[in-house]
Chain A
């Protein structure tokens, strides 16, 4: 049994789970409605109280929509941020907070970070299992775009080689992200610093030229302008990473003696285990090495606990809303006591009257849940757009299996609960009902 379950593909398990979750509702429905054809009557009653019913449906839809939107959004955020960190296997920085460093290196959030020296860089770049060791130089900006000095290899790695135009070949050349306002051929003057405090004339007005444009990556790097790191060092009046006799060289190898320092080195190893070896090797008193994936994963785990609390809360809210709707139905059923009594006077079995009331509630719940799903999808889409626009991290939050499970569970639970107000069918004697 367990072995069979384990052997099923995830998709099949998910579908099976939906079936399993919705089964109680279906079974109850089948038992309650067996042998009857009450739908015209239920339709008539629903129509009679259409305004109240509309309100009930709306209440359920909003609460379900919030739950679903939240779940989808949370997963979308996780996937979006994880995808944004995808190109960053191993990051080496000066010791400090992994989260701060990750925000700076992966998500280009400006922060004050100490530098690593040339010897450290050389040690990493020279490691036999290192396929890519890219220094990143932050600090300048152009408009809303952070300027990052790095190597051509990193730009290619980052964009998977999708560069329109060409790679830089000289000091004054830049490659821009897909969302920067600059076009190939444009010139621009970098400002020192980022944001409102940027000093525009600090670098003596040396103009740089855009020669290439990267394909969209769905990360904050889409907003960035990449330069040869030599240019960044140069405009700050530092050594340019190469001995004077190689003064015109762009890109590695760098000469440790002329290496002004880099806050971050992005490392890509050519073997899986080497990532771990490198990580251990560069966790020293002067360097820190971490996997952004792990940092994010740990964050998700911590946030996961919060999410659990929140989903529990939404589930409770949702159940409360549904319960009050059912209570409303119970009260509403007073208004059709007479019709119910009539049915029984005409010879309708008690179960038929019960079925009418139950179906009435179940229809409201299912319709509410369906609208809620649509609402949740819209909410998640809108939220994703807002977040993507604000952070440049591509977030998309389609409805996933967990939401469908959540819905199925909710519907089952509530249709079971709506057996209770249906008991109103037996509240009054028939004659009293007929006379009311």
Chain B
């Protein structure tokens, strides 16, 4: 289950008013995967944050299906994220003092009681699938690659329809990266999810349905669609 994305005239400015991101138009069908590339500082993370409804400063229109994200209150946006979006952050953002399973199933802490056990089971299954076996050991002793996989498992734990991934393979070796790429793509294909991934990884970009390039906050090849 997922929905289409439609961005129109979206502008994100910094506190001082500098334009960090300006997207006149971006359309994405449901269940399509999109790769975003661009040099460092181009605004890739900024775009992902905006699409997740995290940015207070975004103007214009970001529609997920019938939901106009920018028109929602903060609380409603949070609800939307909890229900629809799984995020993988560029620097993982794990709780060092918690174990792999507790990190991966973090959303269970605030999920409705009825969803908690399903969420934990899913998180555990994801970890196993990604080859993380030490479930209890606190993640501060994990390697970069292991931490990244825990972060991925967390993003997948709520079985969200939309996956937003910021450099999901940056810390993985080639084999692990390829496995993860195959995995994510399969998820998108089989379960009808939308995947938007920021990456410099050619393998990942190659597996995406579409690719855009960002430079200085502008989309360079808005119609850079590639045949699927």
Asked whether any CB of A lies within 8 Å of a CB of B in the complex, the reply is yes
| A381-422 interface with B by 8 A CB criterion | none
A344 to B56, CA, bound (A): 13
A42 to B138, CA, bound (A): 15
Say yes or no: A35 contacts B113, CB within 8 Å: yes
Given contacts A37-B108, A41-B98, contact A345 B158 (CB under 8 A): no
| B156-178 interface with A by 8 A CB criterion | 158
Tell me if B82 counts as interface (CB < 8 A to partner A).
yes
A36 to B112, CA, bound (A): 8
Q: A70-78, A129-137, A426-434: which one contacts chain B? A: A426-434
Residues of A within 8 A of B85 (CB): 347
Tell me if A38 counts as interface (CB < 8 A to partner B).
yes
Say yes or no: A40 contacts B93, CB within 8 Å: no
| A17-62 interface with B by 8 A CB criterion | 35-38, 40-41, 43-45, 47-48
- How does the 8 Å CB contact mask read for B48-63 relative to A, with 1 for contact and 0 for none? 0100101111000000
Closest to A44 in B: B97
A42 to B116, CA, bound (A): 18
Residues of A within 8 A of B74 (CB): 350
Q: Which of A41, A47, A347, A430 contacts B83 (CB 8 A)?
A: A347
Say yes or no: A431 contacts B78, CB within 8 Å: no
Say yes or no: A48 contacts B49, CB within 8 Å: no
Q: How many residues of B contact A (CB 8 A)?
A: 32
Q: How far is the CB of B92 from chain A (nearest CB, A)?
A: 10
Residues of A within 8 A of B158 (CB): 347
Interface of A is mostly: helix
Residues of A within 8 A of B83 (CB): 347
Tell me if A316 counts as interface (CB < 8 A to partner B).
no
Say yes or no: B49 contacts A434, CB within 8 Å: yes
Q: How many residues of A contact B (CB 8 A)?
A: 27
Q: How far is the CB of B161 from chain A (nearest CB, A)?
A: 13
Given contacts A37-B116, A434-B93, contact A348 B110 (CB under 8 A): yes
Say yes or no: A346 contacts B87, CB within 8 Å: yes
| B39-87 interface with A by 8 A CB criterion | 49, 52, 54-57, 74-75, 78-79, 81-83, 85, 87
Question: 7 interchain pairs (CB within 8 A)?
Answer: A345-B81, A347-B78, A347-B79, A349-B82, A430-B54, A431-B56, A434-B89
Known interface pairs A36-B110, A349-B78, A352-B110; 12 further A-B residue pairs with C-beta atoms within 8 A, sorted by A's residue number: A41-B98, A45-B97, A343-B106, A344-B78, A345-B89, A346-B81, A346-B106, A346-B154, A347-B107, A430-B56, A431-B54, A431-B57
